[in-house]
Amino acid sequence: MSLPLPLSDSVRAEDPAPSVPRGVRRVVAVVVQHLVAALSAPVGLVLWPLYLLFRLFLPRPPLLAPPGRFRHIARLIATEPVPPPGIDRLDRYRLLLDLALTFTLAPVQGLAWMVDEVLFARELRRNEVKRPLLEISAWRSGSTRLAHTLHDDPALAAPGLLQMVLPYLWVWRLARLLLGWVNPEGVTRRMRAAAPPAFAERHEIDPWRTDTYDVLFYRHQLVPYALMLGPRAALEEFSHRGITASTRQMWEEDFVRMVEGLARRTLAYRGPAPDGAPRRFFLKGHFLAAAPALAARWPDAAFVTVIRPPLARMRSNLNYLRLSPDFFGLGPSPWPWIAAMAPAEVAYNRAEMDWFTRDDGVTRCVVRFDELVRDLPASLRRIYAICGGTPPPYHPREPAHRGPYQMDHTLADLGIDAAVLAAELADYTAWCREDAVTP
């Protein structure tokens, strides 16, 4: 698929001129980065011996990237040819410094995970993961709205956003003891207020409800570094559509271990359902690349997806990528790089259709976006009829924002030929119709 760049003037002239000269901002950023490294690195260095001692008896925590992954990302940062507008040597140095600090501080997360393995070993073993419900949908498909509704089912156990950020059972239980001092609504308001307004328009931020897990897993696996290195690196590492040469271990091994570890912790924390029955673990994300491995690990799992006509979804997603968090202070991904991700969106839709239309004994349920928006209770009845269980009482919740959005460029603005996309995904578009046959 061709991408006739350059982009339109409306997109290229979008960013306002900064009030502080770029050179000054970069010098300040480097100084601050060195100060942060100098203050925090000793913590990691002190903990490395203890972490290595624990590693004699326990496996590597799945939320920590293996050393080979660090070496791979470091090579990319140092050598990847980056297309215009590119990054210079100082940008590469800042990325390498951040990567080095991440590696130095790895024992902090590793030991926090291992504390659970030591303190709650028997409890974690008792909480087996049976019949998990896994919602795997494309970005900007309406999947978060469905996930927030499923989160209310007392028969399901889903980690909240804050639990995903800090996936440690001992932290959750300590926080529960202190919740009397915390105003949950106040925490939600502050988190929403801290987010850029254009981002908050497109994603409902709720720290107490479940969210897209693989975003955090990508952070653990160092993927955001690749997003700063141009489309080739991004397409190779940001690979939720399928396995790539460098992400096989990430999806087939570490992600499955991470899901199981997170599930056992969540089940232990939530306890049995109100009727005394064990809860089912529920997780939501875009981790289609891991679906075969997850189905192999849990043959009794049920997989749910929300499918949305692809052109509208891609337009929403490409704007959303521009608004993604800037982890390194280098600014958002340039629009030409974002536009170059369109082929990956096509590949995801094709892989999604292939996976969810297979007849291989795996339990799968397909929900159409239009039905979800028009009649969410009907969608819930369909999900539970296929995946098992009883739909919980439905309490309508208005979406946080319906548009118009502050940032909402068309595919044409990004130099993308929508007609070509439509032709390539004609079969997928037909699949999205409500009258389409669904397994």
Q: 221 near 236, Cβ under 8 Å?
A: no
Beta bridge partners of residue 135, listed in sequence order: 284, 304
CA atoms within a 13 Å half-sphere pointing along the CA-CB vector of 263: 27
pLDDT tens digits for 315-373? 999 999 888 888 888 888 899 999 999 999 999 999 999 999 999 999 999 999 999 98
pLDDT, average across residues 246-254: 96
Query: 332 near 326, Cβ under 8 Å?
Result: yes
Per-residue pLDDT reduced to its tens digit, 276-307: 999 999 999 999 999 999 999 999 999 999 99
CB 214 within 8 A of CB 240: yes
- Tens digits of per-residue pLDDT, 168-206? 999 999 988 887 677 778 888 888 888 878 787 788 888
CA–CA distance from 429 to each of 308, 342, 368 (Å)? 8, 16, 11
Instruction: Give CA–CA dist 208/240, Å, rounded.
Output: 25
Q: Which residues contact 189 (CB under 8 A, 6 or more apart)?
A: none
**Lowest-confidence region among 66-75, 293-302, 310-319:** 310-319
Q: Which two tokens stand for residue 178?
A: 């202190």
Cα(387)–Cα(377) distance, integer angstroms:
15
Supply angle C-alpha 191, 63, 346, rounded to 5: 75
* Strands 156-157, 280-285: pairing kind: parallel
Report strand pairing: 302-307 vs 156-157: unpaired
Domains of the chain, earliest start first? 130-431 (3.40.50.300)
Can you name the residues that pair with 285 across neighbouring β-strands? 136
Rounded Cα gap, residues 24 and 295, in angstroms: 52
pLDDT in tens, 207-220: 889 999 988 999 99
- Kindly report the backbone phi and psi dihedral angles of residue 313, in degrees, each rounded to the nearest multiple of 5, phi listed first: -65, -45
Mean pLDDT of 72-92: 95
Helix count and strand count (H, E) for the chain: 24, 5
Least confident of 93-107, 178-192, 210-224, 371-385: 178-192
189-197 CB contacts, 8 Å cutoff, 24+ apart: 196/323, 197/406
Alpha carbon of 424 to those of 240, 417, 418, 430: distances in Å? 20, 11, 10, 12
